[in-house]
Homo-oligomer: A and B are copies of this chain.
């Protein structure tokens, strides 16, 4: 096993990604392959660029600190012909705003979120907790010891983010998107290959 047979090992990684339900971390793969993580990483990254540079139907993306096989976004219309869309209704505006605040300000209390949004956020928080996008991460010291909220790893998966450091810089993003509605053209990538974040 290992770098002595890189081709076969890459085939195993391919197979593991194919059968996995969730993004596979290097840690898990290195346990299965009985190989050091850094060697697995070399091969997994090679496999990822083979997949992603070739305009194939399947991509490999880095999501929630793991590798995951996904369909290329442009394929959605064909898949939906095969399967009825599951009626994925997105999050409400209130939930998205609340989530944005939690994502950038975590850990944060309900009261602090309410101060920013200017409204009660009980129901938005309820929705987000129920969807396992945020969770209680502790208690704030002080009167009443209020709950502190933070994002979950499902949050990363839901939005296709590799980790929290991938969240765009708010000022930067605002400069590009705020007010003016100029789209950024070009192909959509979730993330992965050259580490560039087209999608932002």
In the docked arrangement, what's the CA distance between A12 and B82, Å? 12
**Which B-chain residue is minimally distant from A32 (CB atoms)?**
B81
On whether the beta carbons of A82 and B8 are closer than 8 Å, the reply is no
Instruction: Flag whether A72 is at the interface (Cβ < 8 A).
Output: yes
On whether the beta carbons of B12 and A75 are closer than 8 Å, the reply is yes
A-side interface residues, number (CB < 8 Å): 30
Instruction: Flag whether A20 is at the interface (Cβ < 8 A).
Output: yes
Identify the stretch in A51-59, A134-142, A184-192 within 8 Å (CB) of chain B at 4 or more residues: A51-59
Instruction: Flag whether A38 is at the interface (Cβ < 8 A).
Output: no
Question: Which of B12, B31, B33, B58 has a CB less than 8 Å from the CB of A18?
Answer: B58
**Which B-chain residue is minimally distant from A31 (CB atoms)?**
B81
In the docked arrangement, what's the CA distance between A33 and B79, Å? 10
Beyond A28-B82, A32-B78, A82-B28, whether A57 also contacts B7 by CB under 8 A is no
In the docked arrangement, what's the CA distance between A69 and B55, Å? 19
**Which B-chain residue is minimally distant from A19 (CB atoms)?**
B79
In the docked arrangement, what's the CA distance between A72 and B32, Å? 16
Residues of B with C-beta under 8 A to A31? 81
Instruction: Flag whether A95 is at the interface (Cβ < 8 A).
Output: no
On whether the beta carbons of B58 and A16 are closer than 8 Å, the reply is no
Question: Which of B8, B32, B78, B81 has a CB less than 8 Å from the CB of A55?
Answer: B8
Interface centre among A15, A16, A56, A75 (most CB of B within 10 A): A15
Instruction: Other than A12-B78, A15-B75, A16-B57, give 4 A-B pairs with Cβ distance below 8 A.
Output: A7-B55, A12-B75, A16-B82, A19-B71
16 A–B pairs (Cβ distance < 8 Å), ordered by A: A11-B55, A11-B72, A12-B75, A12-B78, A14-B56, A15-B71, A15-B78, A15-B79, A16-B78, A16-B82, A19-B79, A20-B82, A28-B82, A31-B81, A32-B82, A33-B78
